[in-house]
Amino acid sequence: MGQVGFGQPDDGVIQMAYVVADLRAAIAQWSRTLRIGPWFVLEHFTGEDPVYRGQPSRAEVAIAMSFAGHMNIELIQPNNDAPSVYREIIERRGYGFHHWGVATWSFDAAVAHYEREGYALAFRAAVPSGGRVGYMDTTAVLPGFTEFIELGGAFEEVFGRFYRASIGWDGKDPIRSFI
């Protein structure tokens, strides 16, 4: 067991994610109040071949990523009303904490292990970094989903760029391009 390039374990929690009503307002608030930034924004994200609760997904979100120390922070704003893991949380209790992201080199094994433990795979998709994500429904026992984030591909390049930008961030240019 090792670490990813930004210092978190390569088999543990690397991310905390929150659903927000207004991505730009949330970025401004988190930047001003918590001094977290800069934020790397992807305005339209669906994932590749997304599947929600066993059916093709039409959900689209805008996302922003930054770092608080070694922890990746993700803000997620739904762009439409399609059923999704994001809408589930919003409808259940409103905006706020959504999921933990757990790094894994063994994506299929991690998903299978959680399924054996009784947690359903609520959402899965391929992502721009070349890996896959899978949201396990742990909401009956934890205050959010548990997302498996597959390591490999361009993961280190993408997340490393976000992490390095956050070190000593001076508050300027709080919104930057994800790509």
155-167 confidence digits (pLDDT tens): 999 999 999 999 9
- Higher pLDDT pick, 67 / 1: 67
Task: Specify the pLDDT at position 52.
Answer: 98
83 is written with which tokens? 């059923």
Instruction: Check whether 1 has a pLDDT greater than 70.
Output: no
Please state whether beta strands 121-126 and 48-52 pair in parallel, antiparallel, or not at all (unpaired). antiparallel
Q: How far apart are CA 122 and CA 88, in angstroms?
A: 10
CB-based contacts of 142, cutoff 8 Å, min separation 6: 100
- Per DSSP (E only), the strands in 110-162 are 121-126, 132-136, 145-150
Q: How far apart are CA 125 and CA 135, in angstroms?
A: 9
What rounded mean pLDDT belongs to the chain?
96
Task: Specify the pLDDT at position 130.
Answer: 86
The mean pLDDT of 41-52, rounded to a whole number, is 96
Q: What are phi and psi of 44, to 5 degrees?
A: -135, 110
pTM of the predicted structure, to 2 decimals: 0.96
What CATH number matches the domain at 13-169, 3.10.180.10, 3.30.110.30, 3.40.630.30, 1.50.10.10?
3.10.180.10
pLDDT in tens, 78-133: 999 999 999 999 999 999 999 999 999 999 999 999 999 999 999 999 997 889 99
Please state whether beta strands 175-177 and 145-150 pair in parallel, antiparallel, or not at all (unpaired). unpaired
CA 105 to the chain's CA centroid: 17
Q: How far apart are CA 25 and CA 33, in angstroms?
A: 12
Predicted confidence band of residue 10 (pLDDT cuts 50, 70, 90) = confident
CA 150 to the chain's CA centroid: 12
